Amino acid sequence: MNDSKRAVVLLGGGVRLSNAQEELLSWLKVYNIPVVYSLMGKDAISEDYEYNMGLIGSYGNRYGNLTLANSDLILVLGSRLDTRQTGTNLETFAREAKIIQVDIDKDELGSKIKVDIEINSDILSFINEIKDEELNINTKEWLETISMYKNEFSSIVGIDKSSKSNYFKNIRISK
């Protein structure tokens, strides 16, 4: 992780199943690491976490998917990386990213997509192991970039119609 300039943590249902939410949030806040989540990982992170980039995949938001696509390291915690997250063309999924997948089910490790490091572990145990490791990562520029993604490509309808967000105008339909 120390070599990464654009790290992101992808949360799956395994975070909740291991009751690792509090420990994970504490660890993320120390280093200001952005997160995205799968559908099953939605409740694994607080919506109030400043660098929560939201749901990814075919049902996800644009800025979360951009964060994942442009990362150089993905720490996958308790997610099986199915096609709803990765898409069907696996060669285009996070092309520049090293992938570390942590899962308690060893049969899920690397089963859907090639990963660089497979760690067979309960998520809470994994977080407890790494939380005392001193990381020397600088996320400042990356956080500025993903904040721009969130501002530019937010799905929330706002008052500012001049932004490039997914804004829908009132459309008059005639019969």
Total domains present in the chain: 1
pLDDT at residue 165 tops 50: no
Asked if 110 contacts 135 with a C-beta cutoff of 8 angstroms, the reply is no
Give the tens place of pLDDT for each residue, 29-88.
999 999 999 988 888 998 899 999 999 988 888 898 899 989 999 999 998 777 666 655
Q: In a 3-state reduction of DSSP, which class is residue 18?
A: coil
pLDDT at residue 162 tops 80: no
Q: Which residue has the higher pLDDT, 1 or 94?
A: 1
Q: Evaluate whether residue 84 is within a structural domain.
A: yes
**pLDDT, position 114:** 83
**In the predicted model, what is the mean pLDDT of residues 105-113?**
81
Sheet arrangement for strand 73-77: 52-55, 35-37, 7-11, 73-77, 98-103, 117-120
The CATH number given to whatever domain includes residue 61 is 3.40.50.1220
Q: Evaluate whether residue 141 is within a structural domain.
A: yes
Report the alpha-carbon distance of residue 63 to residue 149 in Å, rounded: 5
Closest by CA to 76, choosing from 136, 112, 36, is 36
Give strand ranges (E) for 56-124.
73-77, 98-103, 117-120
Q: Evaluate whether residue 157 is within a structural domain.
A: no
Give the whole-number percent of the chain exceeding pLDDT 70: 81
Q: Evaluate whether residue 163 is within a structural domain.
A: no
- The chain-wide mean pLDDT, for the chain, equals 83
Q: Evaluate whether residue 161 is within a structural domain.
A: no
Residue-number span of the structural domain to which 132 is assigned: 7-152
Q: Evaluate whether residue 2 is within a structural domain.
A: no
**pLDDT, position 90:** 62
pLDDT at residue 141 tops 90: yes
Q: Which residue has the higher pLDDT, 56 or 156?
A: 56
Q: Evaluate whether residue 147 is within a structural domain.
A: yes
Q: Evaluate whether residue 101 is within a structural domain.
A: yes
**pLDDT, position 161:** 47
Q: Which residue has the higher pLDDT, 143 or 155?
A: 143
